[in-house]
Amino acid sequence: MDYENLDGFSLKFIDRKNVVLGKNGCGKSYLLKKIEPALRSLPGIGKVRYISPERAGFLVYEPGIEQAIVNQATWMDDNRRHNQSVNFKQQSVALYRRLELLVLREIERDHILPGYKPKNFQTVIDKINTLLDRVKIERSDSGFKILEKKDGKLAQAQEISSGESQLVSLAIEFLSFVKECDTEKYNFLLIDEPDVHLHPDLQHRLAVFLSSEVNQSYISTIIATHSTSFMSALAHEGPVRVAFMMNGDVNLKFVRVTEVHKRVLPVFGAHPLSNVFNEAPILLVEGEDDERIWQQAVRTSLGKINVYPCVADSVDRLNEFEKDANDIISAVYDNARGYSLRDRDDNSEEIENIGNIVRMCLSCRTSENLMLSDDVLGFADTDWSKLRNFVTQFVQESINHPYHGAVKTFFDGGLNRKNADLKEIRMVLAGFISKKPWEVLVGQTIASLSNGAGLSGENSLQAYLGSKVCLEICRIT
């Protein structure tokens, strides 16, 4: 669905679960606050609720707040839109009492229907408690009380953690919204930064809860966040669309979260504000061989090489990964960059960057050719002369070997160790060079470059990697 002219904003391709991903200050909260009254004024729109990020207050019952909500239909919406909602959680407690009334009325209405299965309000409390580890809630005269799960002792609302109180508050908000929706119209739940104060495990738990409770055809959610963990969790709970918001954007286009997004998102750390991503930026690579090489290089370099390899499966998909990774880091991080490394194959070594993704090609044909550089051979206690003699002898004596033809092609082509296609014969060559897996050997040798142990010359490892790889990833100038 498309929504135009929402007080200056345009939203295209809205679905049931939608995420606005962007860094602090890009206007996510402003967007939700502006479109809330604009959506409510449209024909065919039922309930619209904005859940603000300033979730202050305590989970206690205050009669005055409940009276304000009952007596003035727009009081809570106005309070959240224009103020910092210092009593947000008290409002949630008032909504809990309304939720209880709505559920009991639903039970009363439905119990005469054929096939009705007995239920009670305790099922709602049980749902809320699935979000909590240390405490739980139980019904009380004023709504609910909070108890320690370990010993059943009463816990004061002012003393439980911000994460625990936020989970209870958000769960009540979600559940009450679902019960108050107009099932004959389209309803919008606008949620501003639900990940605040929640570590990644709780973000995942909340995403599962939210997805299960608002999974109705008449409900659409728009969630503003800068947490890639929360977005990743939502994406694994069913279809999600995302808009990457930059400062000043007013026309947002929501695109389907693809399998590429799901693969890339976990790389970006628990929370962008932790700066984990800047410390270990993503390195997109073609295949699992490349991933093993760079994982080994990272481990062996002891922090001097620090990237997070992510496999794109093939060079064809690498373009898609580069675009999606750039969209994410551009929307979430300040002055961040990611990397992409591909085999040169028969192409030019020169390749242009895409936004914040630094794209590179090896100077040699493929990662297998790195194995034949002077540095890697020396690291394995051998050299090019010995390997050349091995290949010559293999061609002369191993005529019945299944890879004899491929090795002979390498030999007849002049043993061009930098540019020959070694894919088919890599294991033959690796078996002579070292007992180690060739990817481990190459990765360890790359790590040694960061310690200043690299050779020079046209067949050095630095020459095979290329100057851009050495500078950007290995930090060699």
Q: What is the mean pLDDT of residues 366-391?
A: 97
Q: What is the mean pLDDT of residues 341-365?
A: 95
Residue where the block lists tokens 């995420």: 19
Whether 125 and 234 share a structural domain = yes
Q: Which amino acid is at 63?
A: P
CB 45 within 8 A of CB 132: no
- The CA-atom distances, in angstroms, between 14 and each of 45, 82, 132, 328 are 14, 26, 31, 19
Q: Give the CATH number of the domain where residue 140 resides.
A: 3.40.50.300
Whether 194 and 211 share a structural domain = yes
Q: What is the mean pLDDT of residues 112-130?
A: 80
For residue 384, is pLDDT > 50? yes
d(C-alpha 147, C-alpha 150), whole Å: 9
Whether 251 and 294 share a structural domain = no
Res 283: pLDDT? 94
* The total number of structural domains that make up the chain: 2
**Per mean pLDDT, which range of 186-195, 273-282, 379-388 is the poorest?**
273-282
Q: For residues 196-228, b (16+ Cβ closer than 10 Å) or e, as one string?
A: bebebebbbbbbbbbbebbeeebbbbbbbbbbb
For residue 83, is pLDDT > 70? no
Residue where the block lists tokens 């930098």: 418
For residue 182, is pLDDT > 60? yes
Among candidate residues 211, 233, 257, the one where a domain is terminated: 257
* Mode of pairing for the β-strands spanning 338-342 and 282-285: parallel
Comparing 415 with 139, the larger pLDDT belongs to 415
| pLDDT band for position 275 (cuts 50, 70, 90) | very low
Whether 304 and 438 share a structural domain = yes
Whether 186 and 223 share a structural domain = yes
Which range of 145-154, 238-247, 370-379 scores highest in mean pLDDT? It is 370-379
**Per mean pLDDT, which range of 266-280, 302-316, 352-366 is the poorest?**
266-280
Whether 276 and 241 share a structural domain = no
If you count them, how many residues does the chain have? 477
d(C-alpha 18, C-alpha 23), whole Å: 17
CB 291 within 8 A of CB 284: no
Whether 209 and 78 share a structural domain = yes
CB 365 within 8 A of CB 419: yes
Each residue's pLDDT tens digit, 444-475: 999 999 878 889 999 999 999 999 999 999 98
CB 433 within 8 A of CB 371: yes
Q: What is the mean pLDDT of residues 64-75?
A: 63
Whether 199 and 235 share a structural domain = yes
Whether 285 and 228 share a structural domain = no
Q: What is the mean pLDDT of residues 117-144?
A: 85
Question: Taking each helix axis from N to C terminus, what angle separates 162-180 and 200-213, rounded to the nearest 10 degrees?
Answer: 10
Among candidate residues 222, 257, 292, the one where a domain is terminated: 257
Q: What is the mean pLDDT of residues 434-446?
A: 95
Q: What is the mean pLDDT of the chain?
A: 86
Res 111: pLDDT? 67
Res 277: pLDDT? 46
For residue 71, is pLDDT > 80? no
Whether 230 and 277 share a structural domain = no
CB-based contacts of 383, cutoff 8 Å, min separation 6:
374, 377
Res 161: pLDDT? 81
Each residue's pLDDT tens digit, 30-50: 999 999 999 999 999 999 999
- Return the HEC string of the chain: CCEEEECCEEEECCCCEEEEECCCCCCHHHHHHHHHHHHHCCCCEEEEEEECCCCCCCCCCCHHHHHHHHHCCCHHHHHHHHCCCCCHHHHHHHHHHHHHHHHHHHHHHHCCCCCCCCCCCHHHHHHHHCCCCCEEEEEECCEEEEEECCCCCEECCCCCCHHHHHHHHHHHHHHHHHHHCCCCCEEEEEEECCCCCCCHHHHHHHHHHHHHHCCCCCEEEEEEECCHHHHHHHHCCCCCEEEECCCCCCEEECEECCHHHHHHHHHHCCCHHHCHHHHCCEEEECCHHHHHHHHHHHHHHCCCCCCEEEECCCHHHHHHHHHHHHHHHHHHCCCCCEEEEECCCCCCCCCCCECCEEEEECCCCCHHHHCCCHHHHHHCCCCHHHHHHHHHHHHHHCCCCCCHHHHHHHHHCCCCCCCCCCHHHHHHHHHHHCCCCHHHHHHHHHHHHCCCCCCCCCCCHHHHHCHHHHHHCCCCC
Whether 237 and 303 share a structural domain = no
Res 270: pLDDT? 42
Residue where the block lists tokens 């890639």: 228
- The token duo for 62 is 């205050």
| Domain ranges, residue 279 | 264-477
Whether 195 and 292 share a structural domain = no
Each residue's pLDDT tens digit, 295-341: 999 999 988 898 889 999 888 899 999 999 999 888 877 777 899 99
Residue where the block lists tokens 């180690």: 436
Q: What is the mean pLDDT of residues 371-378?
A: 97
Among candidate residues 257, 281, 299, the one where a domain is terminated: 257
Res 112: pLDDT? 67
Residue where the block lists tokens 């409770």: 213
- The token duo for 32 is 């939700």
Residue where the block lists tokens 């709504």: 143
- pTM, whole model, 2 decimals? 0.73
Residue 252, Cβ neighbours under 10 Å: how many?
A: 22
For residue 114, is pLDDT > 90? no
Res 373: pLDDT? 97
Res 53: pLDDT? 60
Res 100: pLDDT? 84
| pLDDT band for position 156 (cuts 50, 70, 90) | confident
Res 54: pLDDT? 57
Of 224, 234, 246, nearest in space to 331 by CA: 246
Each residue's pLDDT tens digit, 185-232: 999 999 998 887 787 788 888 999 999 888 878 899 999 998 888 888
**Per mean pLDDT, which range of 29-33, 138-142, 252-256, 374-378 is the poorest?**
138-142
